[in-house]
Amino acid sequence: MTQTRPNRTLGPGHDDFWAGCAAGELRIQHCNACDKHSWPVFGHCEHCGSTDLRWQVMSGKGKVVSWCCFVQDYYRGVMSVPYDTIMVELAEGPIFMSNPADFAYDDITFEMPVEVTFIDAEDAAGAFKLPVFRKA
Ligand SMILES: [Zn+2]
């Protein structure tokens, strides 16, 4: 079932991220100058400022390091409340914000292992694959 979501950020860099999701890949920018991941998508490295970035496919594995349940309708009816949001520390290091796929707030424990999966979603720009996380 396709889920309606808030509009994605699109454009240079972001389009490459979403193309990765469409291919079943969770891609994170990696800096060739300082050899660190740089996330979220930006035109230069968050660590050293270099614009020499490339995409690196993550393993999709990680652990939940923070979570919350939103009860405020920030997206004005686009997403039904309440909904759960998680912060996942990817195995490669970056922190990725997402939603749980097959578990809920009360099931979460600190550093619970998870892995990425991609669900069908749509926004004003059309259909896309959204990276969410399931129990590993
Ligand atoms: Zn750098």
pLDDT digits (tens, 9 = 90+) for 7-54: 999 999 999 999 999 999 999 999 999 999 999 999 999 999 999 999
CA of 5 to the centre of ligand 1 (A): 32
CA of 51 to the centre of ligand 1 (A): 8
Answer yes or no: is pLDDT of 63 > 90. Answer: yes
> Among residues 91, 79, 86, which one has the least CA distance to residue 133?
86
Residue 11 neighbours by CB distance under 10 Å:
8
CA of 14 to the centre of ligand 1 (A): 18
The tokens describing 55, both together, are 């995409």
CA of 94 to the centre of ligand 1 (A): 14
Q: What is the pLDDT of residue 76?
A: 87
Q: What is the pLDDT of residue 77?
A: 80
Q: What is the mean pLDDT of residues 78-85?
A: 92
**Domain span including residue 78:** 3-135
The number of folded domains in the chain is: 1
CA of 11 to the centre of ligand 1 (A): 21
The tokens describing 54, both together, are 């490339």
> Among residues 119, 96, 82, which one has the least CA distance to residue 40?
96
CA of 120 to the centre of ligand 1 (A): 33
Q: What is the pLDDT of residue 24?
A: 98
CA of 55 to the centre of ligand 1 (A): 13
Q: What is the mean pLDDT of residues 68-82?
A: 91
Please provide the size of the chain in residues. Answer: 136
Q: What is the pLDDT of residue 53?
A: 97
CA of 45 to the centre of ligand 1 (A): 5
Percent pLDDT > 70 in the chain is: 100
CA angle 134, 135, 136 (to 5 degrees): 110
Percent pLDDT > 90 in the chain is: 94
Q: What is the pLDDT of residue 31?
A: 98
d(CA 58, CA 31): 14
Answer yes or no: is pLDDT of 1 > 90. Answer: no
Question: Measuring CA to CA, how many Å separate 36 from each of 45, 108, 136?
Answer: 8, 29, 26
Q: What is the mean pLDDT of residues 71-96?
A: 94
The tokens describing 133, both together, are 């996380």
